[in-house]
Structure 1
Amino acid sequence: MTTSHIPALQLIAPEALALDAEFAPLSMALFKVLLRRHSSREFSPGELPLYALSRLLWAAFGVNRPQLGLRTAPSASNGQEIDIYVAMHAGLYRFDAQQLALLPVLAEDIRAATGCQDFVATAPINLIYVASLKDDSTRPETEQKFYAALDTGFISQNVYLFCAAEGLATVVRGWVDRPALAQTMGLAPHQHVIAAQSVGYPPSPQG
């Protein structure tokens, strides 16, 4: 991404955030995780600590076989064409799985632009799944978009399962103004917003 794609009034975020490389194993059996998996559109305003965000992003699409550069979710022909952008109060970042870091993109809070539902503006984390399509005559754009949607499904389900195991709330969202969001993010023409996913703590019980 180059700064020429970013609207003039938006600023580059000041610094990258290093993520925690230590991932303690989840203690919950897969059966229980599957029982708890559900969508939630209500979130506590509390922000996720960096450690929790590190584990979340690694589970979503991190490198689980470093010697091969392979990931926790499959992708068509191992294209790894999906980038995860993280929109939060502090700004917009891109997850770099190889460096295990959040790379700065914008210094402003764009959460409200990540979807058409009211809750997205205050959800602590909004993940944006962006596909980088190739100028490949052997695979037409429609086919690339199909596989990008499929690969996004694998990643978003990893997020669902992680959230179920960790007691977090999440919902994947397709109701997104994609052209407007791409412009806000400063995406290049070959980059396409596929979907978004909100993550946070569930609201505290009343009473």
Structure 2
Amino acid sequence: MGTARETLSIDGRQPISAELAAQVGELCDRVEDIAGRGPVVVHVSGTPAQGRNEGLTVATVSRWERALRRLERLPATIVGVADAEVGGPALDALLATDYRIATPSVRLTMPVDSGATWPGMALYRLAQQGSNTAAVRRALLFGHPIAAREALALQLVDEVTEDVAGALAAVAELTGVLSGRELAIRRQLMTDAATTSFEEALGVHLAACDRTLRLVATEAAS
């Protein structure tokens, strides 16, 4: 994927930590510095073992969740590449990406600890992004894995393939039309549409249209 300027790897076997949040923050810094030119690729794999939450604090979880929120608002296309078992911070990061590529071996897993699934924002994103199906309910309530083909059917991933390099090259073509700030605006409008009334959304959409018209006028005058 020659146009990609930045990559990040998240190992789901590792616990949530301030260091992990800092890695995401540093990626965001770099992408913002280059104004979102080119897609960003986030590789995710691994799921945590029992006891991963020992010593974890709410402050650290909050820092991690804020880093992910910043990631999913970047002015660049964020492409997730998932392989094998994907849970914990790996699943968190995958669900914050725009376009998701999975290998056939992928299983999306909500980790279970102390007899219950982890109630982090992956639970929120799965419930928001996946249809209200039995498979999603089983994952959220009982930690039942979602296999690759099932994730594709639920639209939690965009494609399942063994040819990751080829899929990345195709995504580069697909996402090359729009990038930077314009992409971030449209992503936010799309996200807000699920929870905002037409009347509330109209003003924001009109402002976005005005911005686009100004850009068109500027290009025409140059």
TM-score by structure 1 length?
Answer: 0.24
TM-score by structure 2 length?
Answer: 0.23
Identify the structure with the greater strand proportion: 1
Highest RCO, 1 vs 2 (Cα 8 Å, sep ≥ 6) = 1
Identify the structure with the greater helix proportion: 2
